Amino acid sequence: MHRVSSPKLRSSREEPALARVTTVLFAVTLVLAGWSGFKDLSHQREWKVVPVNAAEGELNGIRVGVREVRASVLDNGSDRSLLFVRIDLQGSEADARSWTDCLVSVQDASGRTWLPLYGFVRGAIEILASDGKDHGFSGFADVNENSPTTYDQIYRLPKSALDNLSLYVSGYGT
Protein backbone atom coordinates (compact mmCIF):
# COMPACT_ATOMS: atom_id res chain seq x y z
CA MET A 1 0.00 0.00 0.00
CA HIS A 2 1.30 3.36 -0.97
CA ARG A 3 1.10 5.94 1.69
CA VAL A 4 0.16 9.52 0.81
CA SER A 5 1.92 12.05 2.92
CA SER A 6 0.13 15.16 4.04
CA PRO A 7 1.49 18.50 2.79
CA LYS A 8 3.93 20.16 5.05
CA LEU A 9 2.36 23.12 6.78
CA ARG A 10 4.31 26.31 7.21
CA SER A 11 4.99 27.42 10.69
CA SER A 12 3.65 30.72 11.94
CA ARG A 13 7.23 32.09 11.95
CA GLU A 14 7.71 31.48 8.22
CA GLU A 15 4.62 33.45 7.12
CA PRO A 16 5.76 36.94 8.27
CA ALA A 17 9.22 36.32 6.81
CA LEU A 18 7.67 35.26 3.50
CA ALA A 19 5.45 38.37 3.52
CA ARG A 20 8.49 40.63 4.13
CA VAL A 21 10.46 38.98 1.32
CA THR A 22 7.49 39.32 -1.02
CA THR A 23 7.08 43.00 -0.09
CA VAL A 24 10.77 43.71 -0.68
CA LEU A 25 10.75 41.92 -4.03
CA PHE A 26 7.60 43.81 -5.06
CA ALA A 27 9.18 47.16 -4.13
CA VAL A 28 12.38 46.35 -6.04
CA THR A 29 10.39 45.26 -9.10
CA LEU A 30 8.26 48.40 -8.92
CA VAL A 31 11.33 50.64 -8.77
CA LEU A 32 13.15 48.85 -11.58
CA ALA A 33 10.15 48.53 -13.90
CA GLY A 34 8.54 51.85 -13.03
CA TRP A 35 11.57 54.12 -13.20
CA SER A 36 11.32 54.73 -16.93
CA GLY A 37 7.58 55.35 -16.63
CA PHE A 38 8.17 57.81 -13.80
CA LYS A 39 10.78 59.65 -15.88
CA ASP A 40 8.31 59.87 -18.79
CA LEU A 41 5.63 61.31 -16.52
CA SER A 42 8.02 63.82 -15.01
CA HIS A 43 8.74 65.23 -18.47
CA GLN A 44 5.06 65.63 -19.30
CA ARG A 45 4.34 68.41 -16.86
CA GLU A 46 4.44 72.16 -17.03
CA TRP A 47 7.63 72.53 -15.02
CA LYS A 48 8.55 75.95 -16.32
CA VAL A 49 5.60 78.30 -16.17
CA VAL A 50 5.94 81.52 -18.14
CA PRO A 51 2.90 83.72 -17.49
CA VAL A 52 2.01 86.10 -20.31
CA ASN A 53 -0.82 88.62 -20.09
CA ALA A 54 -0.78 89.43 -23.78
CA ALA A 55 -1.69 87.58 -26.95
CA GLU A 56 1.97 86.65 -27.52
CA GLY A 57 4.84 85.27 -25.46
CA GLU A 58 8.00 83.20 -25.65
CA LEU A 59 8.82 79.78 -24.23
CA ASN A 60 12.32 78.36 -24.71
CA GLY A 61 13.07 80.28 -27.88
CA ILE A 62 9.71 79.72 -29.56
CA ARG A 63 7.40 82.70 -29.86
CA VAL A 64 3.78 81.64 -29.37
CA GLY A 65 1.05 84.03 -30.47
CA VAL A 66 -2.73 83.82 -30.47
CA ARG A 67 -3.88 85.05 -33.88
CA GLU A 68 -7.58 84.31 -33.95
CA VAL A 69 -10.24 83.17 -31.48
CA ARG A 70 -13.89 82.52 -32.30
CA ALA A 71 -16.66 80.76 -30.43
CA SER A 72 -19.91 79.28 -31.65
CA VAL A 73 -22.74 78.27 -29.34
CA LEU A 74 -24.42 75.07 -30.47
CA ASP A 75 -28.07 75.52 -31.51
CA ASN A 76 -29.54 72.37 -30.01
CA GLY A 77 -30.29 74.04 -26.66
CA SER A 78 -27.40 72.42 -24.84
CA ASP A 79 -24.85 74.29 -22.77
CA ARG A 80 -22.12 73.43 -25.28
CA SER A 81 -20.04 75.63 -27.51
CA LEU A 82 -17.13 75.24 -29.89
CA LEU A 83 -14.06 77.40 -29.38
CA PHE A 84 -11.64 77.88 -32.29
CA VAL A 85 -8.10 79.06 -31.50
CA ARG A 86 -5.44 79.82 -34.11
CA ILE A 87 -1.87 80.12 -32.87
CA ASP A 88 1.40 81.01 -34.55
CA LEU A 89 4.76 79.50 -33.62
CA GLN A 90 8.02 81.10 -34.67
CA GLY A 91 11.62 80.46 -33.70
CA SER A 92 14.85 78.79 -34.71
CA GLU A 93 14.78 75.26 -36.05
CA ALA A 94 17.11 74.16 -33.24
CA ASP A 95 14.72 75.50 -30.60
CA ALA A 96 11.78 73.87 -32.37
CA ARG A 97 13.58 70.50 -32.37
CA SER A 98 14.04 70.75 -28.59
CA TRP A 99 10.26 70.63 -28.17
CA THR A 100 9.35 66.95 -28.35
CA ASP A 101 5.65 67.74 -28.25
CA CYS A 102 3.22 70.55 -27.57
CA LEU A 103 -0.10 70.61 -25.75
CA VAL A 104 -2.45 73.56 -26.08
CA SER A 105 -5.28 73.63 -23.55
CA VAL A 106 -7.81 76.16 -22.28
CA GLN A 107 -8.67 76.65 -18.64
CA ASP A 108 -11.39 78.63 -16.90
CA ALA A 109 -11.10 80.65 -13.69
CA SER A 110 -12.16 77.68 -11.53
CA GLY A 111 -9.38 75.48 -12.95
CA ARG A 112 -11.40 73.28 -15.31
CA THR A 113 -9.27 72.32 -18.31
CA TRP A 114 -10.24 71.38 -21.87
CA LEU A 115 -8.00 69.72 -24.44
CA PRO A 116 -8.39 70.10 -28.21
CA LEU A 117 -10.69 67.81 -30.17
CA TYR A 118 -9.52 65.66 -33.05
CA GLY A 119 -11.39 63.78 -35.73
CA PHE A 120 -14.57 64.70 -37.58
CA VAL A 121 -15.28 67.81 -35.48
CA ARG A 122 -12.21 69.51 -36.97
CA GLY A 123 -14.40 70.35 -39.95
CA ALA A 124 -15.88 73.07 -37.76
CA ILE A 125 -12.55 74.90 -37.99
CA GLU A 126 -13.18 75.57 -41.68
CA ILE A 127 -16.50 77.19 -40.73
CA LEU A 128 -15.15 79.26 -37.83
CA ALA A 129 -11.78 80.34 -39.30
CA SER A 130 -11.79 83.68 -41.08
CA ASP A 131 -9.95 82.18 -44.07
CA GLY A 132 -12.00 78.95 -44.12
CA LYS A 133 -8.90 76.76 -43.72
CA ASP A 134 -7.80 74.21 -41.12
CA HIS A 135 -4.05 74.54 -40.63
CA GLY A 136 -4.01 71.47 -38.36
CA PHE A 137 -1.19 70.75 -35.96
CA SER A 138 1.52 68.64 -37.55
CA GLY A 139 4.43 69.20 -35.20
CA PHE A 140 7.43 71.45 -35.30
CA ALA A 141 9.01 70.51 -38.62
CA ASP A 142 7.78 73.73 -40.27
CA VAL A 143 8.64 76.15 -37.44
CA ASN A 144 11.32 78.65 -38.50
CA GLU A 145 12.67 82.11 -37.76
CA ASN A 146 11.54 83.77 -40.98
CA SER A 147 7.77 83.57 -40.72
CA PRO A 148 5.23 82.22 -38.23
CA THR A 149 3.81 78.74 -38.69
CA THR A 150 0.07 78.66 -38.08
CA TYR A 151 -1.76 75.87 -36.23
CA ASP A 152 -5.44 75.50 -35.38
CA GLN A 153 -7.17 73.93 -32.40
CA ILE A 154 -10.84 73.45 -31.56
CA TYR A 155 -12.41 72.80 -28.16
CA ARG A 156 -15.87 71.80 -26.98
CA LEU A 157 -16.78 73.38 -23.67
CA PRO A 158 -19.77 74.77 -21.78
CA LYS A 159 -20.88 78.15 -23.07
CA SER A 160 -20.82 79.39 -19.48
CA ALA A 161 -17.02 78.88 -19.50
CA LEU A 162 -16.43 81.21 -22.47
CA ASP A 163 -16.28 84.38 -20.39
CA ASN A 164 -12.94 83.99 -18.63
CA LEU A 165 -10.56 81.54 -20.32
CA SER A 166 -6.78 81.26 -20.35
CA LEU A 167 -4.74 79.49 -23.01
CA TYR A 168 -2.00 77.15 -21.79
CA VAL A 169 0.81 76.07 -24.11
CA SER A 170 3.02 73.29 -22.80
CA GLY A 171 6.12 72.44 -24.79
CA TYR A 172 7.47 69.06 -23.75
CA GLY A 173 11.21 69.11 -23.70
CA THR A 174 11.37 72.79 -22.81
What would the pLDDT profile of 154-174 be if each residue is shown by its tens digit? 999 998 888 888 888 876 655
How many angstroms from the chain centroid is the CA of residue 150?
Answer: 19
Task: Say if residue 114's pLDDT is above 80.
Answer: yes
CA angle 40, 148, 157 (to 5 degrees): 60
pLDDT (0 to 100) of residue 155: 92
The predicted model scores a pTM of 0.67
Long-range contacts of 45-49 (CB under 8 A, 24+ apart): 46/168, 46/170, 48/174
- For the cut 70, the answer to whether the pLDDT of residue 10 exceeds it is no
Architecture of the domain whose range is 56-172: Sandwich (2.60)
**Strand order across the 149-158 sheet:** 56-59, 62-73, 80-91, 149-158
Rounded Cα distance, 108 and 94, in Å:
33
What digits encode the pLDDT tens for the residues 32-90?
Answer: 776 666 665 555 555 556 667 778 888 888 888 899 999 988 777 678 889 999 999 89
